[in-house]
Structure 1
């Protein structure tokens, strides 16, 4: 009957449409019968193009990132720009800036002044800047004017010393290590979703290019500092930076969290992830700074990477096989859904065979930061399946201590500690979750 229906349907189609239908069917049959070696070759070609495309995108992103750092060095003598836990607002005339440190819960006001300016005039300049900075209340979650006394107004010189340069160089090294970690994570996810092993030579080539880029960035940075040192030596005039710092009010953290709680509850229920864990991840990733970004590059409250976690969530949850968009990830509701969905993917797919829920949660936390492959390495295995077998013979306490002592990156060790401690804190604070 079905065959007859198909024949009738084809008979009613125009001749060209019938021809196209049979052509599509032939193509589909050819695709199904394609030899494995051809599928492998096509996959490797696709993977090569994918890596190259992302590498070019990342280079452009880092170029902009380094451009902002260069501007900061030339004006302020440091590399303080928007990042995971910092929000930096610079005035239109580039003579004052506000640095919000969400992790340390401090707000620093800085003003460039000419040497010899009267103290009362300096206080006036700083106070004017502080009042202008109150427009940042939405980021801070509170008003700071009540905390302002100017008793600790201090000054510093523009510093282009070798020590300052070394600090900036170490930042590039740390960024490169993060990017290498992320590349490993992307390779893992690709192998997991495609069922095919990627070409190790191609991955090694991409890693080497990343290292070469880092060396170039370091040389450029050295040149910037050298030029600034020469300029300062030749310039008889000198400017100082007047600095005034206050602590955020005690209720600031609670007020920053409040706008996101409804979405946290919603996505936690949708993906069966405990709200306290989402809060702890968000706190550790961005300190609830919705415009957080990193050179990985990752974006937003839960620091989602467009091409690894973002692509995975798109493919599995949204049924769209493409990376996420950077601008979308700055939207809190979208970011919270993406981050929570990725926690669920780790918990219910990649690490689902870990029997004990607490052991699995420790591994999910570590994998959110560094990838499941590096979790496997902590247990002395290259393959996750082999690591899971070992994990299932251990108590949750032993799993935690193994991760703490053997994860390949110190950053992930500290991350696991922070998230675990903060999750316990948010569970205790019933009002928060």
Structure 2
């Protein structure tokens, strides 16, 4: 995948959006509300499928999980066997914890991928603040464009697009937003 980015091979969609760790994602989204394609889109945006990547602020692995978030998520979901941040570089552990945290923010924001994606990137508290600022007066596009952090704005757009690509490759409906997400006022 890195070669397609470096070579600017934008039309090589199957190489840019591989079904990496497909079996692990299928296992760890089973029983959760989050679509597998959405969890994979988050991982693709977070790490470009590099399981050993670490961010300058301490996030680690495929789904770029912060150590504190990992500890909180493990406790909240009673995930066994987690002993510390070094385990976040293990794809299975990372996907287990990452999909659990994604489930948490997804449910917290009414199964809305716009809000959940922004919360995964910038934190749930910030998203609640932005919701208060818009007070349900704007549509989905205006809400995304009103996100005050350019990184989070781009993040949300990428994740939604990547989700559509993954749904397409998985033989599912490949719309950017669900009907409910389009109809909702933000």
TM-score by length of 2: 0.77
Distance 1:262 1:432, change over 3 A: farther
Following the alignment from structure 1 to structure 2, what is the Cα–Cα distance between the partners of residues 252 and 271? 28
Q: For 1:341, which of 63, 82, 100 is the aligned residue?
A: 100
Question: Residues 10-409 of structure 1 correspond to what in structure 2 (within 5 A)?
Answer: 102=2, 105-106=5-6, 252-253=15-16, 257-258=19-20, 260-307=21-68, 309-318=69-78, 325-348=84-107, 350-351=108-109, 354=110, 357=111, 360-381=112-133, 390-391=135-136, 398-405=139-146, 407-409=147-149
Distance 1:103 1:339, change over 3 A: farther
Shift of 1:377: 2.6
Task: Look at both structures and tell me which one has the larger radius of gyration over its CA atoms.
Answer: 1
* Bigger fraction of residues in strand: 1
Aligned pair 1:427/2:167, yes or no? yes
Partner of 1:415: 155
Shift of 1:380: 4.1
Shift of 1:402: 1.6
Query: Which deviations, in whole Å up to 9, do the C-alpha atoms of 1:235-276 show, x marking residues without a partner?
Result: xxxxxxxxxx897xx56446x644x10011111113221011
CA contact under 8 A between 2:4 and 2:16: conserved in structure 1?
Answer: no
Distance 1:418 1:261, change over 3 A: same
Following the alignment from structure 1 to structure 2, what is the Cα–Cα distance between the partners of residues 431 and 312? 35
TM-score by length of 1: 0.35
Relative contact order higher in (CA < 8 Å, ≥ 6 apart): 2
Following the alignment from structure 1 to structure 2, what is the Cα–Cα distance between the partners of residues 312 and 301? 18
Question: What stretches of structure 2 of length at least 5 have no aligned partner?
Answer: 174-186
Following the alignment from structure 2 to structure 1, what is the Cα–Cα distance between the partners of residues 72 and 32? 15
Following the alignment from structure 2 to structure 1, what is the Cα–Cα distance between the partners of residues 153 and 3? 18
Shift of 1:370: 0.2
Secondary structure of residue in 2 paired with 1:298? coil
CA contact under 8 A between 2:113 and 2:160: conserved in structure 1?
Answer: no
Following the alignment from structure 1 to structure 2, what is the Cα–Cα distance between the partners of residues 294 and 337? 19
Distance 1:334 1:401, change over 3 A: same
CA contact under 8 A between 1:366 and 1:375: conserved in structure 2?
Answer: yes
Query: Which deviations, in whole Å up to 9, do the C-alpha atoms of 1:194-231 show, x marking residues without a partner?
Result: xxxxxxxxxxxxxxxxxxxxxxxxxxxxxxxxxxxxxx
